[in-house]
Chain A
Amino acid sequence: MWSFVFRRFLVAVPTLLLISVLIFGVIQLQPGGFLENMLDDPRVSRETVETIRKQYGLDQPVWVQYLDWLGGFVRGDLGYSFLNNRPVSGLVGERLGWTVFLALLTILTTWVVAVPLGIYTALRRHGLGATVANLIGYFGLATPDFLVALLLIFAVLSTGGTNVGGLFSPQYIDAPWSWAKFKDMLAHLWIPLIVIGLDGTASIMRQMRANMLDVLTQDYIRTARSKGLAERVVLWKHAVRNAINPLISIAGLSLPNLISSTIIASIVLNLPTIGPFLYDSLLNKDQYVVMALLMMSAILLMIGNLLADLALAWADPRIRYE
């Protein structure tokens, strides 16, 4: 297995290189950028813009800029944010904590809720509980997340609530941790969890239900039942384990969502994640920030894929990697 992992690492290098070229190219395609936008201010003259362009090496050919970036990246230097006059690593670091927290919490909640619900709705296909769960699932799939966010906020406002976005009430944002701050966070956390997680929960639930129904009609389940195994054993050892298999690939893919999938929800709900930061940087063409974030997302994906493959091999003995 270790040789497999090692080989994957070797392959990852050219892939990442290709990704970085592509992303860099896509960023360059965009017109505009922060330099152009500066001119709207009465203080800034064409000359100043040109001086700054030189200062940042943006007057160099694109490939020179790329190689410069690559050289730094290999040495662990993520580059410099033009907008913030600061190294990218510090900027990302400041925002990483909440992003990872929210994303992991959402993924966890999603799976903890979705997989059992999927199994349940598969087993009780026509029961009342299953119908309700399905309806909620459909609602999650059928409503854009920003609309869910807006409707939730509107509902909270209409009932006189004050927790309408963000993770904390204003006074707790820069306060040290305390029991009150924790409670305040919990009071805010449910909206983002629903908004970000609903869609994923619904889709995983439905996948799980479909897989479960598939597996339950397979011969080996019948065989297991006829062998006289306890229904519990048949269900959990045979059915669920096989049904969950295709979901593992999906799980691997959800890792990079840590960075990019919550952009819209984060803007509407005013969450302190990396999403809006990436969006701003993209709009302003702050290229090394964008590069750093998208490369992080790419690396996360590779790790996710590798983990998914390993998990798949572990979960399904029929798959072999030689």
Chain B
Amino acid sequence: MTTRKALWLLSLVTMGALASAQPKVVSGYENGKPGGTLTMALSSAPQTLFYYGAIDSAIQTLANQMFDGLIEYNYKTYQIEPALAASWTITGGSKVYTFKLRKGVKWSDGRDLTADDVVFTYTQIVANPEAKGGDAGNFAGVKIEKVDAGTVRFTLPKPAPAFIHYMRLPIMPKHKLLPFSQEGGKKPGEINNAWPTNVDPAEVVGTGPYRLQSYTAGQKVTLVKNPNYWKRDADGNSLPYLDRLEYLIIPDSQAQVAQFLAGNLGQLNITGTDFPTLKQREVQGAPIRVVAFRALFGSPPHLAFNYDDKNPELAALFRQTEFRRAIQSAINRKRIIDDVYNGLAELPGNGVAPVSEWYYDTTRLLGSYDLAAASAALDKLGLKRGPDGVRLLPSGKPLEFTLTYGSNSSTFSAIATILQNDLKAIGVKANLQGILAANLLSTGRGKDWDAIVLGLGDQPDPELRTPIWKPGGDLYYWHQSTQPATPGGPPQFNNFFPWEKEIYDLWEKAASTTNFTQRKALYDRWQAIFAREAMVIMIAKAYAVGAVSTKYGNYLYSLGVIPGYNPVAIMYQK
């Protein structure tokens, strides 16, 4: 073959590829101009540069910029949209998912994305039970196969309506990761060793809007624009607009605020606590914009009581719905929203964010703040006040318990302080026990606590949070005697309350119901029972608060760590 002929052939192939490329057009936003740099903050150094190698918020944030899933969420409506998959069909009684890959998508090193990459990602990584950041549990029994170079098929053992959400997981390049996989002849655990933080940046190849340029240990990650990215704006200009993303690693939230105010950060996610100072600066004319959005994601705090408390008297009390509802009446949600979140929060949903399409309005069931009613309810339970105002248990001992909270979280410690104060007013003595926020969940999953203030994340589909809300689940920590006696075994149904059994059945049914309306009805019922029983007492749902320099346009709030939701690609520098 002569050079000339080869060139000709090459250009033909390129033209063909261009002709068949299917860029996704993102419209409804300002058209920006290319160029510029955006500097943001990471709260911790990435533990690895391989998304599935760790559960780590830093790499989740970075991976959002460097990789894509088959589907993604709409920036405004959070609805599922095509991403690397251009289209899909669900057939075979909701058990067969067939994805047509978007044509012309290239990895950042110029190779084509093919069905092999998708099959490799799901079979070798996601379904690998030893991958630390994998999702083997949800892919047990799922058959994943390549139909042709541009088509992938997933065959499920039984219908799973939330399955489509698992398709947001980032697709990895087979040509780079094969040597770490079982297919490449390694042990299953070896996959975690892919792309450690000292990897050559050229190895980290993705389909996302940016690719890795460099990582300076513990200080900074720099990403640069991926010229092969597959999204276009309404005018057909290629996205992303910004040339570079820089992430400074700044663990302390006050240090982050300082860097933002000094102009060293272009955008920052903050909490309601920092809102007034930043908003005041905006009002005074600083070149920043502080905005609050009702949030789908994020972890709303709740107050849980240990149904299996080591003290049998307390356990008996905590199991009573009347008791929990009485306590709920003593929770001043309005004050917490005003004073702790500076007004930047709303009444919580029960397991579902109020902004979600799955939300069922439980506001009425949440009760209202009424100390007299709370007192009366406790009186009715036979808990009489002792001489010092503290109520007495049937045994004559004071009604006293520890309230565990995260002492290094300003939000949680403030909530705990307010709760304690109001509980005292109704004769319930809560002794505050502050522990490191990082240890909250493991404490809750242990046995040594009475009451706890804890937050667990909301997701776009309730199904994704099954381990939390389905009785007997791994994270159904407030009633641990419902959890399986042996790992992997069935829940201990004999310890279920009737309403827990009802919830369990609702979840079982919802997990195989595919019709949205029917599923929604099931989850509505669950939320109503949740609220009615005050299973755990939801406290508030914080807004997402972000601050951004006025230099940038098309700013949408992004938590950063949610795969499939990355509005940074449309941001531009004015």
In the complex the two chains form, what is the Cα distance from A162 to B262 in whole Å? 5
Chain B residues numbered 29-60 whose CB sits less than 8 Å from any CB in chain A: 39, 44-45, 47-48, 50, 53-56
A83 within 8 A of B: yes
B459 within 8 A of A: yes
Question: Which among B44, B198, B218 has the highest number of chain A CB atoms within 10 Å?
Answer: B218
Please determine whether B198 and A48 come into contact, CB atoms closer than 8 angstroms.
no
7 contacts between A and B (CB under 8 A): A39-B474, A40-B456, A51-B189, A83-B47, A170-B264, A280-B251, A283-B439
Please determine whether A52 and B132 come into contact, CB atoms closer than 8 angstroms.
yes
Which A residues are in CB contact (< 8 Å) with B129? Answer: 47-48, 51
Which A residues are in CB contact (< 8 Å) with B465? Answer: 42
Question: A interface, how many residues as a size bin?
Answer: 35 or more
Known: A157-B261, A157-B262. A166 touches B219 (CB 8 A): yes
Give the contacting residue for A43; candidates B45, B135, B474, B475; CB below 8 A.
B135
Closest 5 CB pairs of A and B: A45-B137, A36-B442, A94-B217, A32-B442, A32-B439
Give the contacting residue for A174; candidates B55, B222, B443, B474; CB below 8 A.
B222
* B-side interface mostly: loop
In the complex the two chains form, what is the Cα distance from A153 to B257 in whole Å? 11
A95 within 8 A of B: yes
A234 within 8 A of B: no
Known: A95-B217, A174-B216, A283-B438. A166 touches B248 (CB 8 A): yes
Please determine whether B262 and A37 come into contact, CB atoms closer than 8 angstroms.
no
Q: Interface 1/0s, chain A 30-57, versus B by CB < 8 A? A: 1111001111111111111011100100
Which A residues are in CB contact (< 8 Å) with B220? Answer: 170, 173-174
Q: Interface 1/0s, chain B 474-504, versus A by CB < 8 A? A: 1100000000000110000000000000000
In the complex the two chains form, what is the Cα distance from A284 to B45 in whole Å? 13
The minimal Cβ–Cβ distance linking B457 to chain A, given in whole angstroms, is: 7
In the complex the two chains form, what is the Cα distance from A30 to B441 in whole Å? 14
In the complex the two chains form, what is the Cα distance from A32 to B242 in whole Å? 41
Please determine whether B134 and A43 come into contact, CB atoms closer than 8 angstroms.
yes
Binds B, one of A246-254, A267-275, A298-306, A309-317: A267-275
Q: Interface 1/0s, chain B 417-457, versus A by CB < 8 A? A: 00000000000000000001011011101100000000011
Please determine whether B255 and A165 come into contact, CB atoms closer than 8 angstroms.
yes
B197 within 8 A of A: yes
Which B residues are in CB contact (< 8 Å) with A277? Answer: 45, 218
Please determine whether B467 and A45 come into contact, CB atoms closer than 8 angstroms.
yes
Q: Interface 1/0s, chain B 377-388, versus A by CB < 8 A? A: 000000000000
In the complex the two chains form, what is the Cα distance from A219 to B30 in whole Å? 85
In the complex the two chains form, what is the Cα distance from A169 to B137 in whole Å? 44
Which B residues are in CB contact (< 8 Å) with A150? Answer: 254
Chain A residues numbered 240-298 whose CB sits less than 8 Å from any CB in chain B: 267-270, 272, 276-277, 280, 283-284
B182 within 8 A of A: no
Which B residues are in CB contact (< 8 Å) with A90? Answer: 198
B residues adjacent to A (C-beta < 8 A): 39, 44-45, 47-48, 50, 53-56, 129-138, 189, 192-193, 196-198, 214, 216-220, 222, 246, 248-252, 254-255, 258-259, 261-264, 436, 438-439, 441-443, 445-446, 456-457, 459, 464-465, 467, 474-475, 487-488
With both beta carbons as reference points, the residue of chain A lying nearest to B130 in the complex is identified as A51
Please determine whether A83 and B441 come into contact, CB atoms closer than 8 angstroms.
no
The minimal Cβ–Cβ distance linking A146 to chain B, given in whole angstroms, is: 9
The minimal Cβ–Cβ distance linking B382 to chain A, given in whole angstroms, is: 36
Which A residues are in CB contact (< 8 Å) with B56? Answer: 83
Which B residues are in CB contact (< 8 Å) with A55? Answer: 130, 189
In the complex the two chains form, what is the Cα distance from A20 to B262 in whole Å? 44
In the complex the two chains form, what is the Cα distance from A104 to B499 in whole Å? 64
In the complex the two chains form, what is the Cα distance from A18 to B362 in whole Å? 58
In the complex the two chains form, what is the Cα distance from A166 to B259 in whole Å? 9
Give the contacting residue for A31; candidates B48, B196, B442, B488; CB below 8 A.
B442
A215 within 8 A of B: no
Question: Which among B47, B131, B197, B251 has the highest number of chain A CB atoms within 10 Å?
Answer: B47
In the complex the two chains form, what is the Cα distance from A156 to B196 in whole Å? 37
Known contacts A47-B137, A48-B137, A174-B219; 7 additional CB pairs below 8 A are A37-B441, A38-B55, A43-B134, A45-B467, A85-B48, A161-B262, A170-B264
Please determine whether B134 and A94 come into contact, CB atoms closer than 8 angstroms.
no
Known: A37-B55, A162-B264, A166-B219. A270 touches B255 (CB 8 A): yes
